Amino acid sequence: MLAIEEQSFATDRMMRRNFRYAILKAKGVVLVADCQVGSRSDDCPSDMGRRPVAYGVLGFHAGTPLARLTSFAVEPGNRGRGIARRLLSALEDAAAAHGCAGLRLEVRADNVAAIALYAAAGYRRFAVYPAYYEDDMAALRLEKPLAARSPATT
């Protein structure tokens, strides 16, 4: 996950300790998409077994029914194959199964690919944080209401 993070973000990266906290202590969910044996990707030959190619970190917070997507990335060699769309849907399922009524996230205002992904998945902008990132880029705040659903039915 650290390797994917380092290949995916130039600023505001999650550190090893942030991943450890998210996995071991935080109230939330960390989902990883594995490379499948027999995958079409040249980066995942079958004799290497499974390895993560994408991840998403969700936080749940007391006092709010809204989950927050705090980090989300697909490794560069596996982008454009629908992995983010499916992983985002699985994260939404996990949030809904936890009882969350919606999901919120921040995205860099210049992140064309991620903004298109979230728009196609039904996220709508509700606010902007100016100079939110280390390089002073603004963040768009996006939100999607979640219908109650069970992972068993998806």
Closer to ligand COA by CB, 63 or 115: give it: 115
Minimum CB separation of residue 16 from ligand COA in Å reads: 18
Size of the site for ligand COA (CB under 6 A): 20
Taking the C-alpha atoms of 15, 11, 55 and 101 in order, what is their torsion angle to the nearest 10 degrees?
A: 100
β-pair type (139-145, 102-108):
antiparallel
Minimum CB separation of residue 140 from ligand COA in Å reads: 9
Q: Does 32 interact with ligand COA (rule: CB under 6 A)?
A: no
Q: Does 8 interact with ligand COA (rule: CB under 6 A)?
A: yes
Count other Cβ atoms within 10 Å, centred on residue 62.
Answer: 5
Minimum CB separation of residue 5 from ligand COA in Å reads: 9
- Residues in 90-129 that interact with ligand COA by CB under 6 A: 105, 107, 111-114, 116-117, 120
Nearest alpha carbon to residue 77 among 56, 51, 57: 51
- Cβ contacts of 72 within 8 Å, gap of 6 or more: 55, 56, 57, 84, 87, 88, 91, 105, 114
Q: Does 39 interact with ligand COA (rule: CB under 6 A)?
A: no
**Six-digit token pair at 68?**
């927050």
Annotate each residue in 54-93 with x if it binds ligand COA (CB under 6 A) or - if it does not, as one string. Answer: ------------------xxx----xxxxxxx--------
